[in-house]
Amino acid sequence: MKAFTRLLTLVSLCAAAVASPTPSAAATSAFPTATSVVSGLHALAKAAGKLYFGTATDNPELTDTPYVAILDDNMMFGQITAANSMKWDATEPEQGVFTFDQGDVIRNLAQGNGQLLRGHNCVWHEQLPDWVAFGNFTFDELISIVENHCGTLVGHYTGQILDADKIRAEPFNDDGTFQEDVFFNTTGTAYIPAALNAARAADANAKLYINEFNIEFAGPKATALQNLITQLKADGVPIDGVGFQSHFIVGEVPGDLVQNFQSFVDLGVEFAITELDVRMTLPETDELLAQQKQDYETVINACLAFTECVGVTIWDFTDKFSWVPGAFPSQGAACPWDDNLVRKPAFDGIVTGFQG
Ligand code: G3I
């Protein structure tokens, strides 16, 4: 935990200056809304022994004043992840040309609010500029490109990121085979230690994570990641944590969540819930919202069961800016705040989850 000292100090200093918020009341909802009156979800997470409760955000959303008022509340959110602006297409759109303007906006927002920052991400097969995806590089060239990208990205934020969260996001297919992206097709798995070593060299204190979805339950994908972690550790490659994205469906939170977390913890890694949301097939109903409340509570409880679970990040806090409807037509309403920034029953689920 030593690596976090500077950032945690900043949080506690600023937290003292923030007034306790009350539930949002200006907008109304046709559905049941949250009833909890609490100082904030991050405050509850801290009281429960976690480092943070946080949210993803994205640059275009920062022009929405009521949204930003909630985002800026460091009793509510003690940690921020940039949903897009630290990805490869945003940070190295041309080879060797690095642009951190948008990422720095998110970094500055978090620092100004006394919120921790997770890096997101170094190597991912999506949101890759064409020069990487279609560059026809040799093994050596692509390894060098990965090292330079991860080293420069993490180096730019040295000392400012809590975890270089997604050193490798989503390396596997659901059947446990490796994602056949340009990295795997060109280098096999060699790009993974290359990325991790470059990140560690750039920031000795940032925790290095591999981030995945559909590893929250036992199966070939979870096993493949466990095998990778075991191999990396055997090879002396730095790997500190696992990010469980946790993009869940209402009523379908895995029943073996806790056992599955344990099987990763047994490998000697910490973990975080990095992209939590719980989507439903629309339209919303009172029943779906009640189940969603339970689902959020279940996930928070599972994190609380482990000292190795450092914190929870939701993948934006409002349905207004959720990625879900864009990716899953006819699904949505996945976040704890609705389109009008009104707190949903899911908010109460998080509260009761943290209160044990
Ligand atoms: O930047 C362009 C903009 O120029 C254009 O006008 C606009 C038109 O649609 O698109 C913009 O790009 C969008 C980008 O977000 C930035 O807003 C893409 O279309 C859109 O597909 C992209 O979606 C992001 C998605 O990753 C990409 O796969 C989501 O916002 C982001 O929340 C989502 O996050 C991922 C995590 O990084 C990794 N885990 C899964 C998670 C959900 O997919």
**In terms of pLDDT, which residue wins out, 241 or 14?**
241
- pLDDT category, 5, cuts 50, 70, 90? very low
Query: How far apart are alpha carbons 259 and 162 in whole angstroms?
Result: 26
pLDDT (average), residues 105-125:
95
Cα 307 to middle of ligand 1, angstroms: 32
Q: What is the pLDDT of residue 9?
A: 22
Please determine, for residue 162, whether its predicted confidence score (pLDDT) is greater than 90.
Answer: no
Q: Which residue, judged by its Cα, is nearest atom 31 of ligand 1?
A: 83
Look at residue 318 and tell me if it is in a domain: yes
Does 84 sit in the ligand 1 pocket, CB within 6 Å? yes
Look at residue 19 and tell me if it is in a domain: no
Question: How many helices (H) and strands (E) would you count in the chain?
Answer: 14, 10
Look at residue 18 and tell me if it is in a domain: no
Any catalytic annotation for residue 216?
no
Pair 181, 138: CB distance under 8 Å: no
Average pLDDT, the chain: 91
Of 279, 187, 182, 176, which Cα lies nearest the Cα of 220?
Answer: 176
> Domain of 235?
41-355
Region at 42 (left for phi over 0; alpha for psi -120 to 50; beta for the rest) = alpha
Cα 263 to middle of ligand 1, angstroms: 32
Does 245 sit in the ligand 1 pocket, CB within 6 Å? yes
Residues 25-56 pLDDT 10s: 457 899 999 999 999 999 999 999 999 999 99
Count the domains in the chain.
1
- pLDDT category, 163, cuts 50, 70, 90? low
Look at residue 12 and tell me if it is in a domain: no
Residues 316-327 pLDDT 10s: 999 999 999 999
Look at residue 187 and tell me if it is in a domain: yes
Residues 45-86 pLDDT 10s: 999 999 999 999 999 999 999 999 999 999 999 999 999 999
pTM: 0.92
Look at residue 224 and tell me if it is in a domain: yes
Query: How far apart are alpha carbons 70 and 75 in whole angstroms?
Result: 10
Look at residue 309 and tell me if it is in a domain: yes
Residues 204-229 pLDDT 10s: 999 999 999 999 999 999 999 999 99
CATH number, domain with residue 328:
3.20.20.80
Ligand 1 pocket test: which of 323, 324, 328, 331 has the largest number of ligand atoms within 8 Å of its C-beta? 323
Look at residue 7 and tell me if it is in a domain: no
Buried b / exposed e over 284-293, threshold 16 CB at 10 Å, is: beeebbbbbb
CA distances for 234 relative to 206, 228, 239, 326, angstroms: 21, 10, 11, 40
- pLDDT category, 167, cuts 50, 70, 90? low
Q: What is the pLDDT of residue 164?
A: 54
